[in-house]
Structure formats: C-alpha cells, structure tokens
A = this chain, B = another copy of it.
Amino acid sequence: MANFGGHAIPGTFFMLYGFWLTVKHILQYNWRTRQPKGRHIMPPFFKKMEYVEGGFQIFASFVGIMVEQFVVDGPHARLYNREASSWVKLMNWQHSTMYLFFGISGVALIASTLIKKVPTGVDRLTISMALFVEGFLFYHHVHGRDPLDAHIHSLLLVAVFGGSASTMLEVFIRNNIILELTRAGLFILQGTWFYQIGFVLYPLNGDLWDLKLHDNMMFVTMCFCWHLAMALLLVASTSSAVWLTVMRFSEKRREIEIGMRDTSSMSGSQKALLEQSDEE
C-alpha cells in the first residue's frame, strides 16, 4: 500500500478508534466515580460497548486481511513461489499479520466480557501484543530505506511501542483513567502520524520531499511533537465535552426524579437508594 491512501485508511481507523476509546473510558470513569465504594459490576450498556468494539475489531481485521491478500497485486494467499524461489509479496503478508493480532485482541475483548472466568486484563494484554507486533514488524521493515523514510517510520514506533507499554501497564493497574486516556491518545497520535507519513512520502501536490536532507528530518521530529500536543488537546477536549454532556443529562434526570419524588409516595428504602445515587 505504498501510496497516500494506504496510509490514510489505517490513519483514519486509528484516529476513530482513539476517539471511541476516549468516549468509552470517560463514560466508564464518570460511572465509576458515581458508584459507592466496592460496587464494580459493569452495567449492561458498557458490556454492549465492549461487544461492539470487539466485533468491529474482528470484522475490520478480517476485511483488512482479505483486502491485503486478494487485492489485484496481492499474494492471493500464496506465500512462496517455488518457480521463482522467492517469497510472494511479503509486505502484504506482514500487514495481514498485523491485522491478525488486532483481530485476536477483538476476540479476547469479547471473551473477557462474555465469560466471567477469563481473567481480567486479557483484553489489554492482547492489545499490547497487537501493538508490539505492529511495532516489531515495522522496526524490521525500515532497514535500508532512505533516511527520511526510515526516520518518519521510526517516529511512528514511539507512538506504537509507547502504546504497547502503557497498555501492558493496564494489565496490572486497572481502571486508571490516565492510562486509559494515554492509550486513546497514542492511538490518535498514531492515526494522525499515518496521515503525516502519507503527506510526506506521497505528497498530494506531487512536490516530492528530499529524503536525504537533514533539515527535513529535524522538521519531522519536531512535527511529531506537535502531533503529540494535538493528540493531547483532542483527548482533553473530547473528554471535557463527553463529561459535560453526561453531567447535563444526569442533572435533567435528577430534576425529573425530584419532581417525581414530590408527587409520588415511596417507602423509606427507595428514598435512601435515590439519595445515594444523587450524591455525586
């Protein structure tokens, strides 16, 4: 997929996934902070979100693998060409391998939501592994390219391995909103950086960059930091927007409840329950 589109498609997916994660984790965090201590059974709505996420991961990975394999110039599930004594389209096979691991993480997410006995953290472990494999393949993918090409891909690895490490931490430190948003932010960063790679290596206006100029590498390094700042900003503003929206909704509901409470008669235990949920 050595063209602009081939970088824009995964970029779009990673960005959307990052936003989805931000929204999901802020909703969960909001819900957690409202619960009395000790109660941590997820409501069905969150379970549904996990199923949707896992299902989408599996679906997207499957489509991704199929496209990589059966695209016109793809390997068509053929790995080794005996006549030519050479491997067939290793790049497509590598991409398929990356998709495979994201698919596995989807399976793990669904399994750990569905089956109580699957140890918590398996979903994060598999995401961490998927990112590790992505980074691992990219890392061995980069040797022998032009300096700027190699450098811009190795910057991607900062986001990928950073995400892998922070997600691995989540296996042990559960329900830490900072780690969860870090993961979301690093997915967004990965997404925007894929776009940046596309813009630099396959410029839309056809104005090719000098792949050996040192100044270009310096700019690209700095540009990565700007993307990081932007990812931070996007996560912060999305989080705030979601939080405020939830607050407004729950306040409205509270007002309705208060109105209802005044007119209806209820037992003491019901009142206590309501008041408990009203305490922020």
Residues of A at under 8 Å CB distance from B?
Answer: 29, 33, 86-87, 90, 93-94, 97, 100-101, 104, 117, 119, 121-122, 125-126, 129, 133, 136-137, 140-141, 144, 158, 171-173, 176-178, 182, 214-219, 221-222, 225-226, 228-229, 232, 243
- Flag if B136 contacts A225 (CB, 8 Å): yes
Residues of B within 8 A of A117 (CB): 33, 243
A90 to B141, CA, bound (A): 29
**Complex copy number for this chain:** 4
Contacts of A86 in B (CB 8 A): 215
CB–CB A225/B140 < 8 A: no
A-B contact pairs, 18 of them (CB 8 A): A87-B215, A87-B218, A90-B215, A93-B219, A93-B222, A94-B218, A97-B222, A117-B243, A119-B177, A119-B178, A122-B178, A125-B182, A133-B228, A137-B225, A140-B217, A140-B221, A172-B173, A172-B176
A63 to chain B, nearest CB (A): 19
Q: Which residues from chain B contact A217 at a C-beta distance below 8 Å? A: 140
Q: Which residue of B lies closest to A169 (CB)?
A: B172
Q: Given known contacts A33-B117, A178-B121, is B221 in contact with A137 (CB within 8 Å)?
A: yes
In the bound assembly, the distance between CA atoms of A243 and B116 in angstroms comes to: 13
Q: In whole Å, how far is A165's beta carbon from the nearest beta carbon of chain B?
A: 11
Beyond A87-B215, A87-B216, 18 extra complex contacts between A and B, CB < 8 Å: A33-B117, A87-B219, A90-B215, A90-B219, A93-B219, A101-B225, A104-B229, A119-B177, A119-B178, A121-B178, A125-B182, A126-B232, A129-B228, A133-B225, A136-B225, A171-B178, A172-B173, A172-B176
